[in-house]
């Protein structure tokens, strides 16, 4: 009988204490976030560097595994342009693992496979992973941070 009263007490507390509001998440937000990730990869495959200006927030700081320290937007612009001069991304495939949208912020975990052709070199195929953090802006979703790169 004591267990019955305990259960009633717990239920009464749960009913009386209002639950914290949960930010509305929509599949539309998840789709828009993933579209931004794909947009960045398509731009790299086309050999474009303008995506840095269009898709990175002004306060972006990302840490690719091949960098000794995090890179801001200016650094990403420099290294993106350098990388594009070194060879070509021939193909890629993305494997989304999870997307969490929490209000105006999103976290995306995904895996990838790439096929690159360095100038004067042989085809190189690699696998890797990224965690991207995006924020909602007036013009859509923007990257504010990321971490990842090729698997060792």
CA distance 42 to 54: 13
Answer whether 50's CB lies under 8 Å from 43's CB: yes
pLDDT at 15: 39
CA distance 6 to 78: 63
> Residue 4 above 80 pLDDT?
no
Answer whether 143's CB lies under 8 Å from 60's CB: yes
pLDDT at 50: 96
Tell me the pLDDT tens digit for each residue of 10-31: 334 333 334 434 344 568 999 9
Question: Looking at the chain, which runs of residues are DSSP E strands?
Answer: 61-64, 71-72, 87-102, 105-118, 124-137, 140-150
CA distance 33 to 102: 12
Tell me the pLDDT tens digit for each residue of 37-93: 999 999 999 999 999 999 999 999 999 999 999 999 999 999 999 999 999 999 999
Q: Which residue has the higher pLDDT, 10 or 126?
A: 126
Residues 129-133 have a mean pLDDT of: 98
pLDDT at 80: 96
Longest CA pairwise span in the chain (Å)? 81
pLDDT at 152: 77
Among 151, 140, 25, 23, which Cα is nearest to 95's?
151
pTM equals 0.81
Tell me the pLDDT tens digit for each residue of 90-114: 999 999 999 999 999 999 999 999 9
55's CB contacts (< 8 A; 6+ apart) are 36, 39, 40, 43, 142, 143
């Amino acid at each position: 009988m004591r267990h019955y009263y305990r259960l009633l007490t717990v239920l009464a507390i749960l009913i009386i204490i209002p639950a914290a509001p949960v930010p509305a998440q929509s599949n539309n937000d998840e789709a828009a976030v993933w579209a931004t990730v794909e947009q960045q990869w398509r731009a790299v495959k086309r050999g474009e560097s303008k995506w840095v200006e269009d898709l990175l927030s002004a306060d972006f700081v990302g840490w690719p595994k091949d960098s000794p320290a995090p890179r801001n937007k200016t650094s990403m612009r420099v290294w993106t342009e350098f990388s594009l001069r070194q060879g070509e991304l021939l193909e890629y495939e993305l494997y989304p693992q999870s997307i969490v949208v929490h209000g105006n912020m999103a976290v995306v975990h995904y895996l990838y496979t790439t096929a690159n052709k360095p100038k004067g070199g042989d085809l190189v195929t690699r696998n890797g992973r990224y965690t991207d953090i995006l924020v909602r802006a007036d013009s859509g979703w923007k990257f504010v941070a990321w971490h990842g790169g090729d698997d060792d």
